[in-house]
Amino acid sequence: MLRFAKYHGLGNDFIVIDEAVSARAATLLCDRRFGVGADGVLMVLPAPAAGADARMRILNADGSEPEMCGNGIRCVAKELFDSGRVRKDVIRIDTLAGVLACAVQVGESGRVDTVAVEMGRPRLTRERAQEPLAIGGRELVLTCVSMGNPHAITFVSGEEPLRPLAERLGPLVEHHEWFPMRTNVEFARVRSSGAEIELVVWERGCGITMACGTGACATAAAAVLTGRAPAGREIAVDLPGGRLGITVAEDGSGVRMRGPARLAFRGECDLEALARG
């Protein structure tokens, strides 16, 4: 039997396990009708990197392996601390995007309530900060940013609903030839002179999710880069599942993400039974 914990960060939900599983097993586990149900599987493994407390591997619901997951790493930090495996104020977790420092904040229950993660330097992945792309009968202006994983951000003016746009155009951009490894796609609206951003994310390998931590970071970085939001001050990024606080360093050297992590339940699953259907 496979023991697991079900976590979520603002509704972006994960199955957290202490062993490696295959892509096929991840798709079975993430199935919301016949499995446990989740956006992805987080594997918490021994750390091969010097100075790291643990290693996190991620498999999306479609079995693909992304480089990083902002909501996921907060859940892993909480699991490590609350389980007693790593009792540190700052937990260092090795990912495909590098070793990231996660500062845990403990609530009145003695368990982790919020986690602030140093997400590293945002990096432009195309020649220009703003590039037009005609797609799906519409021209989008994209800012392409890597937070260890790829993001294509477009800022939407007016009051046009973001989710229908993301559902229609997100998969087209994800699979566009500009992005041979596919990309996450962000549809954002800046409010309150850059102090707040409304955001809906089409996640590579998942589709629409309630929240995306790396997407919020990439979007805040893009907003700062294009003069829509200030650097050095926490920006409130509002996703369908709730709010993340994102701070882009004044010199652009890093992004800090602050947000909650929640345990939903623990359980056991018979993978062989799932595979048999």
- Catalytic one among 30, 69, 144, 217? 69
Query: Do residue 128 and residue 249 come from a single domain?
Result: yes
Query: Do residue 176 and residue 272 come from a single domain?
Result: no
Query: Do residue 139 and residue 249 come from a single domain?
Result: yes
Domains in the chain: how many in total?
A: 2
Q: Is 102 a catalytic residue?
A: no
- Catalytic one among 30, 144, 212, 217? 212
Query: Do residue 127 and residue 195 come from a single domain?
Result: yes
Query: Do residue 162 and residue 40 come from a single domain?
Result: no
So what's the pLDDT on residue 107? 95
Model pTM above 0.75? yes
Percent of the chain with pLDDT over 70: 100
Q: What is the domain range of residue 271?
A: 2-118+261-276
Q: Is 217 a catalytic residue?
A: no
The CATH number given to whatever domain includes residue 135 is: 3.10.310.10
Give the pLDDT band of residue 113 (cuts 50, 70, 90): very high
Give the pLDDT band of residue 276 (cuts 50, 70, 90): confident
Query: Do residue 127 and residue 113 come from a single domain?
Result: no
SS3 string, 122-160, reads CEECCCCCCEEEEECCEEEEEEEEECCCEEEEEECCCCC
So what's the pLDDT on residue 194? 84
